[in-house]
Structure 1
Amino acid sequence: MIDRLLIERYAAETWPVAETREEDGWLLRHTPGVPPRRSNSALPLARGEALSTALSRVEDFYATRGMPIAVQVAPAEEHTALDALLAERGYRRDGALLVRTAPTGTVITGSRPAVPLGVVTVEERPTRRWLDAFIALDGHDNSHEAAERILSRIPGPAAYLSVERDDRVVGMGLVVAAPGCGGVFCMATHPDHGQQGIATGVLHVGARWAAARGADELYLHVMDDNQAACRLYDRVGFRLSHTYHYRIKP
């Protein structure tokens, strides 16, 4: 199983930001125009008390940029003392997520479609069609900014996956290769095409792509209240690695 801190390091390297800095055990990230989540938050890269003593410098970094101060408490199980300190200082808890991992071979076997899915398109770079589909299917207020400022700049190797029906994208995903593993992101299915095996098929093709690039394991992030996605990931072999959430102070 991949080390929990290493997963978060790989995920951080996957998600491009406009400005980044490592300081006293923290990874400080800033991207103008997007909310205080992964692209605008501080990620602890180490364990121990040193994180707490450097917190004032973390706060200064975001204050001088006119941003709310956000900390990605990841993995949450590794940072209970830090989380308690942030709560004591008035940081509100936000955005609880689960991080799941699985052997790539297990996902390939578990996601093999029972019936032909059709064509899953794989592109090595994000096309305009893929980015527009993400904006439409993601459904968040900042989806356009995320597509243009982040997803269009993901470092490769990466697989941008999509399924089309009636000349429109109805399912999609993104797999990014890292040393020995692959991260699964941006999984989405059009509501009119749910329960048709589209997401399972996207995972199957994405896992095969990752395996061909030496990824023995896969990891993904999912909101803890997304029960439908959790059932899908359980079914194809993903198991809980750790959890994380954000602490945000205006």
Structure 2
Amino acid sequence: MRASETFELERAAVATWPATTVERRDGWLLRHCPLLARRRSNSALPLDPLADPEVVERFYAERSSPAIVQVSPLDERSELDALLAGRGYRAEASTMIMRTEREALLQACPPPSFEVRLDDAPAPRWLAAVADVGGRPEPSLDRVPAPVAFATALHGGVPVGVGMFAVADGWCGVYGMHTDAGWRRRGVAGSLLRAGAEWASAERVFLQVEADNSVARSRYESLGFIRAHAYHYRIR
């Protein structure tokens, strides 16, 4: 990807995931959300490869939170990554961002084998569906700005999979994909992704997957997703 596309994707990822505080300061995008335990909502994203980590440390100290940096894109932030390691930041949660085009995804996903219900808010029935399929319901997802869709795949009216789709800056972000253990490898994820792609107005789609989750990566690759870039977190 070109550097401009990488920045656009990063900006879309920030815009499609909630944080109560989002602040640009001295080469950093600083995010904090006490309602969510996710690193994604409580970490600093470097906008400048030479940004000073002390800015991050002061910001999170003021909020009695650990200083966390999302070192992204990792291959362009090696100098910063080494600096943070030298300051005692440990590396965690190596993650890959994957992307595809909307039309390519629609072609890769067959007509849905499951009914997919889309809600425009994290309604109680969607949160219940997340728990039913073995996922972890997230608080504060009502903060995700529209357009957003909370998807439930159903078989005979019973939830078998869930996901969330949010659009910003020409990208559709895919979050919280989870399939009931008894329904894996039976087309649930494909049905959810096709429904999300049909719903979304964006022409490009991205998702984030743990780098060591080879099963999920392989599944998404079979649907046309390719590696965009990688990141990990540095935690002091």
AA at the equivalent of 2:155: R
Q: Distance in 1 between matches of 2:90 and 2:221?
A: 30
User: Equivalent of 1:131, from 127, 131, 145?
Assistant: 127
Q: Distance in 2 between matches of 1:232 and 1:56?
A: 40
Deviation (angstroms), 1:133: 2.6
Determine the structure 2 residue equivalent to 1:118: 114
Residues paired across the two proteins, number = 234
AA at the equivalent of 1:245: H
Identical columns (%): 39
Judged with a 3 Å threshold, the aligned counterparts in structure 2 of structure 1 residues 34 and 182 are, in CA distance, closer, same or farther, namely closer
Deviation (angstroms), 1:207: 1.1
Instruction: Judge conservation of contact 1:36–1:68 (CA < 8 Å) in 2.
Output: no
Determine the structure 1 residue equivalent to 2:56: 58
AA at the equivalent of 1:196: R
Q: Distance in 2 between matches of 1:39 and 1:128?
A: 22
Judged with a 3 Å threshold, the aligned counterparts in structure 2 of structure 1 residues 246 and 86 are, in CA distance, closer, same or farther, namely same
Q: Distance in 2 between matches of 1:118 and 1:86?
A: 46
Determine the structure 2 residue equivalent to 1:163: 153
Determine the structure 1 residue equivalent to 2:107: 109
Deviation (angstroms), 1:165: 2.8
Q: Which runs of 4+ in 1 moved over 6 A?
A: none
User: Equivalent of 2:37, from 35, 43, 48?
Assistant: 35
Q: Distance in 2 between matches of 1:99 and 1:34?
A: 21
Determine the structure 1 residue equivalent to 2:139: 148
User: Equivalent of 1:73, from 71, 74, 82?
Assistant: 71
Unaligned runs of 5+ in 2: none
Judged with a 3 Å threshold, the aligned counterparts in structure 2 of structure 1 residues 194 and 152 are, in CA distance, closer, same or farther, namely same
Q: TM-score, normalised by structure 1?
A: 0.87
Judged with a 3 Å threshold, the aligned counterparts in structure 2 of structure 1 residues 107 and 83 are, in CA distance, closer, same or farther, namely same
Instruction: Judge conservation of contact 1:97–1:223 (CA < 8 Å) in 2.
Output: yes
Determine the structure 2 residue equivalent to 1:196: 186
Q: Distance in 1 between matches of 2:132 and 2:89?
A: 32
Instruction: Judge conservation of contact 2:98–2:208 (CA < 8 Å) in 1.
Output: yes
Deviation (angstroms), 1:167: 4.0
Q: Distance in 2 between matches of 1:130 and 1:45?
A: 35
Greater fraction helix: 1
Q: Distance in 2 between matches of 1:185 and 1:123?
A: 14
Deviation (angstroms), 1:179: 2.6
Secondary structure of the residue aligned to 2:117 is strand
Deviation (angstroms), 1:33: 4.7
Determine the structure 2 residue equivalent to 1:227: 214
Instruction: Judge conservation of contact 2:8–2:169 (CA < 8 Å) in 1.
Output: no
AA at the equivalent of 1:217: R
Determine the structure 1 residue equivalent to 2:162: 172
Determine the structure 1 residue equivalent to 2:17: 15
AA at the equivalent of 2:16: T
Judged with a 3 Å threshold, the aligned counterparts in structure 2 of structure 1 residues 44 and 137 are, in CA distance, closer, same or farther, namely farther
Deviation (angstroms), 1:34: 3.3
Unaligned runs of 5+ in 1: none
User: Equivalent of 1:184, from 169, 174, 179?
Assistant: 174
Q: Distance in 1 between matches of 2:162 and 2:92?
A: 26
The answer to whether 1:86 aligns with 2:84 is yes
